[in-house]
């Protein structure tokens, strides 16, 4: 084997890598990301002036070329497969696009696809559509207005993605579909959300703009009363808010559900819901309210969607006012929702946010261009036909000569030149004459054909006049709009109610106020007992080892503050709790207020008794204490839960409300205690301050009990009373503890 030379070894050594050329990140984003951004905006998410996104347009055009405008229904899988010739993004996305355009899905006022099978429902996100092999579809007759003139060069045709066929850039719709069919999409850095309007109202407004381009917004508001949605419902009409939408293309439209009260069954039947929500979203909110005890007037609610259409039934308890309940549900559930408008539309390939008048004017410009292209196509065809008939007319005077020329010509290629020379016609005319069947070379046939010349000349003159007069073009478009309105116009599905007619109900019904006894135990059980119930029996049932820490008179509408062992504060109302008897254990506060695992209340305060100058005294297991003013707990809004209420450096032993200085008995696990005034404990404005040492403890000892002192005379003896802190404790017996703490004012 020959040895490798040094030259070969040098050749095998890899060349050193070239140093990387630094590039600004802005350049990288512009070069790599911007093409994707523009593709999503222009070719995917934003609708164009014909009212369609590319995926929708490709699907409908494919169905048109399949002959499904007049033919029988075919399997949806067949349509999906054919559409992939224009749309390579996968069969699932194509089928989902078709589903949203079908009559069965009920998302459009004027569906484009006549469907057979299960296609789900727009008002239900869980009602799934069947697989495409089980469903059938064809184009609805309404689609004739989408493709009118498409075979007459009305719009540009471009090659598809693999250059095997062509597809239209836009569809030449004979009405402003952009405002009749709802459309929404999210691109990169922008979005579009176009609501639907009533077809007849849009046609009237377009006709008004064709006649008077500077039609005022007030006039448009009179013609186009409000958006119209396929799911019905009611628009809460605010003219100024609607004016903003019409002028800027942005704004919010408030929608309400439609319901009726069945007196016999004592239930509310919701028959129509806002277009922007679903029955699942409504049911979930109703469930949350029911679990929170805020739907006490409702005994049950259920989905009753069936063959008859949408229905959500709410069963009421006896004596419930259905009107008042629905007003409250409007404010608390998606039964009242808003459709956010953002009329962002592609115009000549560029996104533009426009008001209603501007959109209609852009559509008029687009439609005029389509109409003129159709006219020019017809004009060209008629001029070509006239030219042929004029040539045919020239042989009328001597048919026998024409026959003789054809018969006497030896070569087929000489027939056309000989006819041209004999009758002084051009090659196109001669070719037409040469192709006439022998049976038609008679005087009657030729005379009948020549009679068309006069009509053709009149039609050509009319088309030329039409192409030269914009006003006549607009008049023709007006005729088309009037025909569309007459043929396909429908009454409004969405009702209108003035904003001033809507009564806003309070978020929560006013609870009845009455005196009660409030009891809280050490283990965290809460009792709300009426005075009548207490008269029957005032003997409390408690868990073994539990004891009462709060026993006070209150009212049902009182607000409560629970301080827990997890450095958190919960706000509640007495009315949030159910009435119980003294003989029951009561409601477990941790479960009622959805506290964290292991969390329990250690103190209960009544909000009506609190003043901003009051303080809360916290005592911790390490013997430290701190006073925090109530002002430290002020928040901007009414919070249900407040975290970080006090320091977590050591476990909490007690939280005492201080409206005035109080004497407290602090006891360690070594049964040594001190009595100190709360005014000796420093005040800190920071909620999480760990405080200072109050009771001196030996290593391993902890503070285990804090009780308000009731007998001041007894407190002065025994060596427990301290005037300074920190202080060491004196021995405390069980009898002493009972004597010092068992006083009527201890729970205050």
CA–chain centroid gap for 314, Å, is 24
In terms of Cα–Cα distance, which of 239, 234, 275 is closest to 256? 234
Query: Do you find a cis peptide bond into 506, omega within 30 degrees of 0?
Result: no
- The answer to whether 250 touches 353, Cβ cutoff 8 Å, is yes
Cα–Cα dist 430/284, whole Å: 78
Run of H or E residues at 145: helix 144-147
The distance in angstroms from the start CA to the end CA of the chain is 106
Place of tokens 């389509």: 370
Crossing angle for the helix pair 470-488 and 452-467, to the nearest 10 degrees? 100
CA distances from 232 to 271, 276, 304, 542 (A): 9, 11, 18, 56
Bridge partners for 347 per DSSP: 350
Tell me which of 33, 36, 134, 514 is the catalytic residue. Answer: 134
CA distance 525 to 591: 10
Distance CA 483, CA 148 (A): 13
H/E run at residue 386: helix 356-394
Name the β-bridge partners of 620: 652
Say how far apart CA 374 and CA 658 lie, in whole Å: 88
Please give the Cα distance from 338 to 65 (Å, whole number). Answer: 39
Distance CA 94, CA 100 (A): 10
Q: In what order do the strands lie in the sheet with 74-75?
A: 74-75, 136-139, 113-116
Mind giving me the DSSP string for 208-237? HHHH-TT--HHHHHHHS-S---TT--EEEE
- Catalytic residue list contains 134: yes
Helix (H) or strand (E) holding 549: strand 548-555
Which positions are annotated as active-site residues? 134
């Amino acid at each position: 084997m020959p040895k490798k030379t040094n030259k070969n070894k040098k050749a095998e050594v890899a060349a050193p890598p070239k140093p990387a050329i630094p590039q600004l990140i802005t350049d990288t984003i512009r070069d790599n990301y911007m093409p994707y951004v523009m593709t999503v905006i222009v070719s995917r998410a934003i609708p164009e002036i014909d009212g369609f996104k590319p995926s929708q347009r490709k699907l409908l055009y494919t169905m048109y070329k399949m002959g499904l405008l007049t033919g029988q229904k075919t399997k949806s899988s067949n349509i999906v497969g054919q559409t992939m010739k224009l749309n390579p993004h996968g069969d699932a996305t194509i089928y989902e696009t078709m589903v949203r355009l079908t009559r069965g899905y009920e998302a459009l006022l004027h569906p484009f696809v006549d469907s057979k099978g299960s296609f789900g429902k727009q008002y239900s996100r869980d009602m799934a559509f069947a697989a495409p092999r089980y469903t059938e579809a064809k184009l609805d007759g309404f689609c004739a207005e989408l493709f009118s003139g498409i075979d007459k060069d009305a719009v540009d045709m471009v090659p598809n993605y693999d250059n095997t066929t062509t597809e239209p850039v836009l569809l030449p719709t004979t009405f402003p579909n952009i405002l009749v069919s709802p459309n929404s999409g999210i691109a990169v850095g922008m979005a579009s959300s176009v609501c639907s309007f009533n077809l007849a109202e849009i046609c009237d407004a377009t006709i008004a703009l064709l006649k008077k381009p500077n039609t005022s917004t007030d006039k448009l508001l009179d013609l186009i009363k409000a958006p119209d949605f396929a799911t019905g419902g009611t628009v809460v009409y605010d003219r100024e808010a609607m004016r903003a939408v019409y002028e800027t293309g942005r704004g919010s439209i408030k929608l309400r559900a439609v319901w009726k009260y069945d007196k016999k069954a004592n239930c509310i039947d919701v028959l129509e819901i806002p277009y922007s929500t679903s029955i699942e979203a409504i049911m979930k909110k109703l469930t949350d309210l029911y679990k929170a005890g805020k739907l006490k007037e409702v005994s049950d609610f259920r989905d009753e969607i069936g063959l008859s259409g949408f229905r959500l039934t709410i069963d009421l308890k006896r004596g419930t006012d259905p009107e008042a309940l629905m007003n409250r549900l409007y404010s608390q559930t998606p039964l009242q929702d808003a459709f956010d408008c953002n009329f962002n539309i592609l115009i000549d390939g560029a996104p533009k946010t426009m008001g209603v008048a501007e959109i209609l004017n852009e559509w008029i410009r687009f439609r005029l261009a389509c109409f003129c292209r159709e006219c020019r196509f017809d004009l060209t065809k008629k001029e070509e036909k006239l030219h042929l008939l004029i040539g045919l007319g020239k042989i009328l005077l001597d048919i026998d000569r024409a026959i003789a020329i054809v018969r006497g010509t030896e070569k087929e290629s000489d027939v056309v030149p000989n006819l041209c020379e004999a009758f002084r016609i051009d090659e196109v005319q001669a070719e037409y004459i040469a192709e006439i069947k022998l049976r038609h070379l008679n005087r009657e046939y030729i005379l009948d054909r020549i009679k068309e010349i006069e009509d053709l000349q009149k039609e050509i003159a009319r088309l030329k006049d039409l192409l030269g007069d914009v006003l006549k073009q607009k008049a023709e478009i007006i005729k088309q709009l009037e025909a569309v309105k007459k043929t396909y116009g429908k009454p409004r599905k969405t009702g209108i109610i003035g904003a001033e007619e809507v009564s806003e109900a309070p978020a929560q019904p006013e609870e009845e106020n009455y005196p009660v006894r409030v009891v809280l135990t050490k283990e965290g059980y809460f009792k709300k007992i009426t005075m009548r119930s207490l008269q029957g029996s005032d003997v409390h049932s408690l868990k073994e080892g539990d004891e009462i820490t709060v026993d006070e008179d209150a009212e049902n509408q009182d607000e409560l503050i629970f301080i827990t062992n997890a450095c958190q504060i919960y706000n509640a109302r007495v009315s949030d709790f159910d009435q119980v008897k003294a003989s029951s254990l009561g409601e477990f506060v941790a479960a009622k207020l959805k506290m964290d695992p292991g969390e329990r209340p250690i103190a209960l305060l009544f909000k009506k008794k609190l003043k901003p100058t009051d303080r809360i005294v916290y005592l911790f297991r390490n013997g430290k204490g701190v006073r925090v003013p109530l002002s430290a707990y002020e928040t901007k809004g009414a919070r249900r839960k407040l975290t970080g209420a006090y320091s977590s450096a050591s476990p909490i032993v007690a939280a005492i409300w201080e409206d005035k200085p109080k004497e407290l008995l602090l006891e360690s696990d070594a049964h040594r205690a001190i009595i100190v005034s709360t005014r000796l404990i420093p005040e800190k404005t920071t909620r999480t301050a760990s405080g200072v040492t109050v009771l001196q403890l030996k290593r391993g000892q902890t503070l285990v009990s804090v009780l308000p002192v009731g007998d001041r005379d007894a407190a002065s003896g025994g060596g427990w009373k301290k005037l300074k802190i920190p202080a060491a404790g004196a021995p405390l017996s069980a009898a002493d503890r009972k004597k010092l703490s068992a006083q009527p004012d201890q729970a205050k």
